[in-house]
Amino acid sequence: MSELRQDIASGDWAIIAPGRAKRPVFLDKKNTPRMPTPLRACPFEHLQKSGNGSPIAAYPNEKNWRIVLLPNKYPALSHEALSCAVPLSHGIYHAKAGIGHHDLVVTRDHKKNFGDLSPAMAAKVFEVFRERHRMMAKDPRSSYVATFCNWGPSVGASIGHPHYQILTLPIIPPHIARSLAGSKAYFRKHRRCVRCDIIREERAYKKRIVAENKFAVAFAPYVSKSPFEVSIFPKAHISAFSETPPDVIRAAALLLQSVLRRVKKYANDPDFNFFIHGAPLDHGKYFYHHWHIEVVPRTSVFGGFEYSTEIDINIVDPDTAAAILRGEK
């Protein structure tokens, strides 16, 4: 039987409708090979020759870089040293100046996505993310840092060379605001973090757990909006990604690698997004938030129902999805 399930933090709804597919057809579909950008056309093989700006940071150094933090050549928002995101008026409409940072984190290997990196390199990528979050927290014009990965052309990756984006906003995005409001309401009622309770619930139930290690746990959310969606949480309550200790950063990065490899192996290697859902930059104000990573494989297409209602239909029960990703089905 189908179920309408509501996310207890954001209030969002999803329909879990496993009856619509005995076995999801996309698990047996032959995918078109994902083609990397040709080396001669790749803007990350020769950074300066390709017109990239000077690196913000490079590891271990600019000459022999394995990871580099760059300003995006084509930023969604622009950063001007003396500019603020001032309110704008257009008749009855409300707007703000598009001020913000838009950076890229690029790894050296042309073909290895996050799941294929060495454990040390994966952990270092997350350390670069964390350091950039810390730098952005010093900018009073910044309210939220969106850190994400697009892997594959169907989810927004226009360049085949693996890279990650960090976009700093002068606003708190609506979905994040709803999630924060729900988390705050839950804390006021129960005096506990809603996501700490979710972790306890999932570890007790066990069936939706995909993998875990000493410091982090990965599971298919009870309100999974799409097939094989996975959430990765630090087990300890940490509101701000930028305040995460090194051992937890490493554990979360390694667990993300495990999840991505499982999605590739057991869910027919779909394109995917992953993103970090952290607290806004005024960290102390959002102590009730619990940062986490969300992995969203692209296995279905939005239609009129989803666009008109903002309710997603998921044809794979999260219990089943977790079992498949554990290699049990």
Q: What is the pLDDT of residues 27-76, one digit of tens each?
A: 777 777 777 788 888 999 889 888 888 999 999 999 999 999 999 999 99
Q: What is the mean pLDDT of residues 2-10?
A: 96
| Structural domain containing residue 79 | 3-325
pTM over 0.85: yes
- The yes-or-no verdict on residue 82 having pLDDT over 60 is no
Cβ contact 109:121 at 8 Å: no
Residue pointed to by tokens 């960090």: 166
Residue pointed to by tokens 């990765």: 232
Handedness of CA 230, 236, 237, 241 (dihedral sign): negative
Helical packing angle, 318-325 and 246-266, nearest 10°: 90
Cβ contact 286:229 at 8 Å: no
**Rounded-to-integer distance, Cα 284 and Cα 289, Å:** 10
For residues 99-128, one letter each, b for 16 or more C-beta atoms within 10 angstroms of the residue's C-beta and e for the rest, the string is: bbbbbbbbbbeeeebbbbbeeebbbbbbbb
Percent of all residues in the chain with a pLDDT value above 90, rounded to a whole number: 77
In the predicted model, what is the mean pLDDT of the chain?
92
pLDDT in tens, 139-159: 888 999 999 999 998 898 889
Residue-level pLDDT at 85: 77
Residue-level pLDDT at 78: 85
Q: Show Cβ contacts of residue 188 under 8 Å, excluding neighbours closer than 6 positions.
A: none
Residue-level pLDDT at 50: 85
Number of domains in the chain: 1
Q: What is the mean pLDDT of residues 266-270?
A: 94
Residue-level pLDDT at 96: 87
* Token reading at 2: 């189908």
* Token reading at 39: 């080396």
Between the alpha carbon of residue 10 and those of residues 6, 112, 148, the distances in Å are 8, 34, 19
- The yes-or-no verdict on residue 15 having pLDDT over 90 is yes
Which CATH number fits the domain that encloses residue 235? 3.30.428.10
* Token reading at 307: 């666009």
Residue-level pLDDT at 25: 66
pLDDT in tens, 150-194: 999 889 888 989 999 999 999 999 999 999 999 999 999 999 999
